Chains A and B, each alone.
Chain A
Amino acid sequence: MRKTSLDCVYELARRDPRVVFIGSDLGAGTLDEFKEEMPDRFFMEGVTEQNIIGMAAGLAMEGFIPYVNTIATFITRRCFEQVAVDLCLHNLPVRLIGNGGGLVYAPLGPTHLAVEDLSIMRALPNMTVVAPVDKEEMARFVPQTLDMPGPVYIRLAKGGDPVVSREADGFTIGKAILMRDPGDFLLVSTGVMTNRALAAADALAMAGGLQCGVLHMHTVKPLDDAALLDLAGRVRGIITLEEHTLVGGLGSAVNDLLGDRLGRKAPPVLRLGIPDRFPDKYGTQDDLLGYYGLQPDAIANSVREFAAVT
């Protein structure tokens, strides 16, 4: 997914002279072709995230379209004020590509985990927040960022994630993709949790005949209100899935919308995600997803329990 996103940036830069790339201190060899072919539009600025965001803002003020890449938590938390003021207040077309969103950096511990990136980015006016499910969806998405007027945060996963997106579904920023029609329940997920949602829906359908739809909310902001409100009227309950803290992320966004717009007519919502405490285990991304009950079997069990009381 990361390679695909950067390859897309390279292709965009080849055809559009406004595109520039800014990295912090990325791995050796990153975008070598870009650097070789377009050295004046390739910047590797070192571990200076605050400076990089301001620099991207200055370039964008003068007509360039900077794509900025570093580890997700350092492109969101470390330079949050620069993102808020330099990018969002000025509403500039800078794209932030965050490596290792969620629990990808599990072995490196809580300093490197980006488990509140979606909530802090969606709190900022003018920011668009997108978490694609796989590399093919990434390839459909990135070219669409070229002419967006404001800033975009793109959450990357680990890489090598199973491809579950379908070309026929296309990709439109801000339009959720219904990957499976709803039965009694609807799973709403973002990023790579959508592949877990599909697996959980399979398990539920096989084991007990519980039919669950899957709505892939690749764009967390702006949320696809219309799709959610439409589907909310057709199901007994909604379960949100996110590789992210439960404070202010996808589940919160869904709850806010349904509560605000449907009030007591809103279906019950179960939010599955990471509890409000710093992760205290290492291991792998999969280990931590298991720890937090976010692997397909655990999700299916949570849905069954939810269904029993709904």
Chain B
Amino acid sequence: MTHEAHIRVVGDDLDDRSLALRRLVVRGLDGGKRGHLGSAFSLIETLRVLYDDILRYDPAAPRWAGRDRCILSKGHGCLALYAILADKGFFPADELDRFCQFDGILGGHPERAKVPGVEASTGALGHGLSIGIGQALAMRLQKRDSRVFVIMGDGEINEGSVWEAALSAGKHKLSNLVAMVDYNKLQSYDRTSVVQDLEPLADKWRAFGFAVHEVDGHDVAQLHRVLSAVPFQRDKPSAIICHTVKGRGIAAAEGNPDWHHKSKISDDDVAAMYAELA
């Protein structure tokens, strides 16, 4: 285990941008009266830094060939992705008011054919990394310098398919591929350490041929520094383990498995969340 494995998430106050993005998530929760709240709130800073500072993209041309690809493999965290995509103008923010509704484009898991900016339809877990490998191989074959970022959940990487993909990424030395794990330490039932322990997690990725860094996934400056440094090693795929807090920003939700997914969200719940994120 390296010193990095001991990174602890600091409890600094969220800045205005992080609060604003979380309010967009609440707008979606209000629209659908449901959603994977905890899973979305742990992702906010990761997606914020990617879309603010790291990724190349054009909201007016979501399939621009020269873009970087970013796959949210933990599709249940989609409200965070929808928030940043709306913020960037891929679609109007009022789509969030129709989250999970019959005619809406924003479902409980993201779909490539429906949502501008969504690279892959995910939700069934353990699919994104393999799709990202195919895209990264395509970039290499087409001699494009686009990069592929794949964001997975910690519960998600219970799936054996993730480790098939990890073998493959290492074999192909895909330096244009970045595997990110939103390590919020909680899955649906309980703590990951109880349900299916992942440790030593960084060592696992290293053993599969990745160059690995661990970060505080709510520390914007640290995320920026690490994400700016990919690939960490020539001829290796990169892995970033983002230590996060599930439900970050809502005190009752933080670290509470009951907030993995919520249905029947009331107007009072929404008002309380807005108040907390003001």
Q: List A residues at the B interface (Cβ < 8 Å).
A: 20, 40-41, 43, 45-46, 48, 50-64, 66, 81-82, 85-86, 89-91
Check B160 for interface membership: any CB of A closer than 8 A. Answer: yes
CB distance from A168 to the nearest CB of B (A): 40
- Give me 16 other A-B pairs in contact (C-beta within 8 A), A50-B130, A54-B130, A59-B135 excluded: A20-B141, A46-B167, A50-B126, A50-B164, A55-B165, A57-B131, A57-B134, A58-B132, A58-B134, A58-B136, A61-B135, A63-B138, A66-B134, A86-B131, A90-B113, A90-B120
B139: nearest chain-A partner, CB-CB: A62
How would residues 139 to 160 of chain B score, 1 for a CB under 8 Å from any chain A CB and 0 otherwise?
A: 1011000000000000000001
In the complex, are the beta carbons of B126 and A58 less than 8 A apart? no
> Closest B-chain residue to A64, C-beta based?
B138
Q: Taking the complex as formed, is B129 at the interface, i.e. its CB lies under 8 A from any CB of chain A? A: yes
- Say yes or no: is B124 at the interface (Cβ < 8 Å to chain A): yes
Enumerate the 7 nearest inter-chain pairs by beta-carbon distance, A residue then B residue, closest first: A58-B134, A54-B130, A62-B138, A51-B164, A48-B164, A50-B161, A55-B134
Contact B134 A56, beta carbon cutoff 8 Å: yes
11 contacts between A and B (CB under 8 A): A50-B161, A51-B161, A54-B128, A54-B131, A58-B137, A59-B134, A61-B135, A62-B138, A86-B127, A89-B111, A90-B112
* B124/A85 in contact, CB under 8 A: yes
CA distance A86 to B165 in the complex (A): 14
Assembled-state Cα–Cα distance A66/B165 (Å): 17
A46 partner residues in chain B, CB cutoff 8 A: 167-168
Chain B min CB distance to A210 (Å): 50
Bound-state Cα–Cα, A56 to B164, Å? 14
Asked if B133 lies at the interface with its beta carbon under 8 angstroms from chain A, I say: yes
Would you call the interface of chain B mostly helix, strand, loop, or mixed? helix
Query: Is there an interface contact between A41 and B131, defined as CB atoms closer than 8 Å?
Result: no
Residues of B within 8 A of A89 (CB): 111, 121
Is A54's CB under 8 angstroms from B138's CB?
no
Q: Which residues of A contact B161 (CB under 8 A)?
A: 50-51, 54, 82
Contact B141 A41 (CB under 8 A): yes
The total of chain B residues at the interface (CB under 8 A) is 29
Of the candidates B119, B120, B165, the one whose C-beta lies within 8 Å of that of A51 is B165
Q: A85 to B134, alpha carbons, bound, how many Å?
A: 15
B134 touches A82 (CB 8 A): no
Best-surrounded residue of A43, A59, A81 (most CB of chain B within 10 A) = A59
Knowing A51-B165, A85-B121, A90-B120, say if A62 contacts B131 (CB, 8 Å): no
Most buried by B among A53, A61, A62: A62
Cα of A58 to Cα of B137 in the assembled complex, Å: 8
A127 to chain B, nearest CB (A): 16
- Which residue of chain B has the shortest Cβ distance to A66 in the bound complex? B134
Q: Say yes or no: B138 contacts A51, CB within 8 Å.
A: no
What is the chain A residue whose CB lies nearest that of B113?
Answer: A90
Q: Is the CB of B130 within 8 A of A58?
A: yes
CB distance from B122 to the nearest CB of A (A): 8
The residue in chain A whose Cβ has the minimal distance to the Cβ of B146 is: A62
B130 touches A62 (CB 8 A): no
Q: What chain B residues lie within 8 Å of A54 (beta carbons)? A: 127-131, 133-134, 161, 165
CA distance A62 to B142 in the complex (A): 9
Task: Determine if A51 and B135 form an interchain contact, defined as CB atoms under 8 angstroms apart.
Answer: no
> What is the minimal beta-carbon distance from B68 to any residue of chain A, in angstroms?
13
* Per-residue contact bits, chain B 170-202, to A (CB 8 Å; 1 contact, 0 not): 000000000000000000000000000000000
Are A59 and B137 touching (Cβ within 8 A)?
yes
Once the chains bind, are B164 and A62 in contact (CB under 8 Å)? no
Partner of B127, one of A56, A64, A82, A91: A82
Per the bound structure, the CA–CA distance linking A90 and B113 in Å amounts to 7
Contact of B137 among A48, A50, A55, A86 (CB under 8 A): A55
Q: What residue of chain B has the Cβ atom nearest to residue A17's Cβ?
A: B141
